Structure 1
C-alpha cells in the first residue's frame, strides 16, 4: 500500500503514551519525524516523555475539562489522533462489581469519545486521521473476558459510526484490533482479575474458582505476541493514501477473528475447550439455590 511522504512536519496526539502500544507508537512516529504529543495522567511522567523527544500533554480521560484543555494546548491543527489508552478488566459477569463495569466503559468508551469530540475540529482542519485501538476479543469474546470485550465492542461500534459520519468531511478513521501482546496492560489485567474475587458471595466465588483457574492457566501458557505488528498497522493507518478501515494484528488475533464465522454453538464449544473450561469445572461447588448476596 502506498504511503504518504513524511517530508512535511506532522503532528499526532497519542493517548496511553506512557506504556504499551501507545508508547511504542509514539516512539515509531517520533523516529519518522512526527511531532508527538504524548498524553499522560501523572505529573511525574512529563519529564520522561520530554526526555524521549515527545511533547507531554496532561490529559485525564475521565475529566472532560482536562481533555478540552489539552485540545486548547495543542491548537487548531492536528494531523493524527491515536486512541490507545485503555484498561483491561477480566472476570465472570456475575463477579464483576457495578463500579468495575462503569470504570471499564468510562475509560475505554466514553473517554475515547470525549477525546474525539475535543480534537475533531483540529483534525478536520488538517484532513487528519483517527486510529482507535480495539481488541479482537470484541468480535469473539472468550469466557470471563466480558468487561474488556464489551467495552471494546462498544468502541468498535463507535469507530464504525464515526467513520461513516466523517466520510465526507476529510477525516479518515481506522480501527486496529490486536491479539494478545506483551504489554503492561496484561499484568494490570491479572491484578484486576484477582480483585474481582471480592465481588459476589463466597459460594458464588467458589462456584467459579475452578473454571477461572483453568482460564488463568491457559492464558499463562499462551505466548504473548510482539507489539510491532500493531504499531505498523497504526503507522499505515496514519500515512497510507487509502488506509484500511479495520486491521487485525497478531497470529492469535487473526485466528480468533475467523471464529466469528462459525455457528454460535460450535464457536462456544471450541473457545471453551481452548480455554480449558469444562462442565466438570462447576461440579465441585454447584449453586443449587440462591446464595446469600455478597459484596457488590
Structure 2
C-alpha cells in the first residue's frame, strides 16, 4: 500500500527505544496509522507513560538476551503478521578518541550495533513469514564523523554497513530494509549524551583536558544548538511511517536540511575540504 492509504490493526510493528524522543513519536505515529505497536521501553514508569489504545509497551533492554527472546516469543504468539521492526534504541557516548576508555567503546557498540543485530535476528523468522520491513534509525553521524563523536559515529557507520549487507541478503525473500537518516533532532538522547560527555571529560587527565579544551567547548555549543534548533521527533516519525507504508520504499530517507546537505557533501568534496567545513561548522 502507498503512504496515502490507511493501515489496519491487523498488523504488528515493533519499535525499540520507545520511551522518549524518536521512538516514542514513532510509536504514536504508527498507532495513528492503525498498526498495533509493540513498544520496547526500559522501565515500568516509561511503560505506563507510553501505553495507549494501539501501543502495547514491553520491557526491553536490547542488550539483554532474555528480554530479546521474550520479545520474539511475544511476536510469535500473535496471529497478526509482523509488518515491520523499527530499530531505534541507542545511546551516545562522546569524548575525544584518545580519552575514551575501551569499556565505553564497548558500551556504545553493545547497544547501537550488537543489540540492534540481536533484535533483527530474533524477529527475522516473523519478518520472513510476513515479508515485512526493517527500518533502522541512522544519523548524519553515520555519514560524517565529527570530532568528539568517534564512538557514536563508529556505531552508526557500522549500522550503515549492516543495513546494506542485510538488504542485499533478505530482499530476495521479500523483506525490505530502509535507513532513516535524521539531522539534528530535539531528543533526550542528546541530553543524556551530554551528561555522559561531561562525566568522561571529568575523567580525562589534566593534559588531555588542556589539549582538547577547544574541542570540548565546541562540542557543548554544537549539542546545545541541537536542543534549540533541532527538528521535532515527529518529523522523523513521519519518515518512518513512509518507509513502512510506501509500496516501494527507498533504501534511505534523509530528514532535515542538514542531513541532506551533509550526506550530499560526502560525495562532492574531498576529505580535507570536508574536514575544514566540519571544523568551521563546530567553531573550531
TM-score (norm 2): 0.92
Question: Which residue in 2 is equivalent to 1:105?
Answer: 109
- Taking only aligned residues, the RMSD between alpha carbons, in angstroms, comes to 1.7
In the alignment, does 2:46 pair up with 1:45? yes
Shift of 1:229: 2.8
8 Å Cα contact 1:37/1:57 also seen in 2: yes
Question: Which residue in 1 is equivalent to 2:75?
Answer: 74
Q: Which runs of 4+ in 1 moved over 3 A?
A: 1-5
Shift of 1:236: 0.8
Q: Is there any run of 5+ residues in structure 2 with no aligned partner, and where?
A: none
Question: Which residue in 1 is equivalent to 2:230?
Answer: 224
In the alignment, does 2:215 pair up with 1:211? yes
CA distance in 1, matches of 2:98, 2:236: 32
Question: Which residue in 2 is equivalent to 1:2?
Answer: 2
CA distance in 1, matches of 2:52, 2:232: 25
8 Å Cα contact 2:72/2:123 also seen in 1: yes
8 Å Cα contact 1:215/1:276 also seen in 2: no
Q: Number of residues paired by the alignment?
A: 277
Question: Which deviations, in whole Å up to 9, do the C-alpha atoms of 1:3-30 show, x marking residues without a partner?
Answer: 3541462210100111111100100111
Question: Which residue in 1 is equivalent to 2:186?
Answer: 182
- Any idea what SS the aligned residue of 1:89 has? coil
- Any idea what SS the aligned residue of 1:167 has? helix
Question: Which residue in 2 is equivalent to 1:292?
Answer: none
CA distance in 2, matches of 1:112, 1:237: 18
8 Å Cα contact 2:19/2:42 also seen in 1: no
Question: Which deviations, in whole Å up to 9, do the C-alpha atoms of 1:43-77 show, x marking residues without a partner?
Answer: 33333333464112222111112101111022264
- The one of 128, 134, 137 equivalent to 1:130 is 134
CA distance in 1, matches of 2:119, 2:222: 36
TM alignment of 1:111-126, pairs within 5 A:
111-126=115-130
- Any idea what SS the aligned residue of 1:140 has? coil
Question: Which residue in 2 is equivalent to 1:58?
Answer: 59
- Structure whose CA Rg is larger: 1
Question: Which residue in 1 is equivalent to 2:272?
Answer: 265
Q: Which of 15-24 and 199-208 deviates more?
A: 199-208
CA distance in 2, matches of 1:20, 1:14: 12
8 Å Cα contact 2:148/2:215 also seen in 1: no
8 Å Cα contact 2:19/2:46 also seen in 1: yes
Question: Which deviations, in whole Å up to 9, do the C-alpha atoms of 1:230-252 show, x marking residues without a partner?
Answer: 11110011111100101111111
Q: Is there any run of 5+ residues in structure 1 with no aligned partner, and where?
A: 278-296
CA distance in 1, matches of 2:202, 2:101: 9
CA distance in 1, matches of 2:38, 2:164: 25
CA distance in 2, matches of 1:226, 1:57: 25
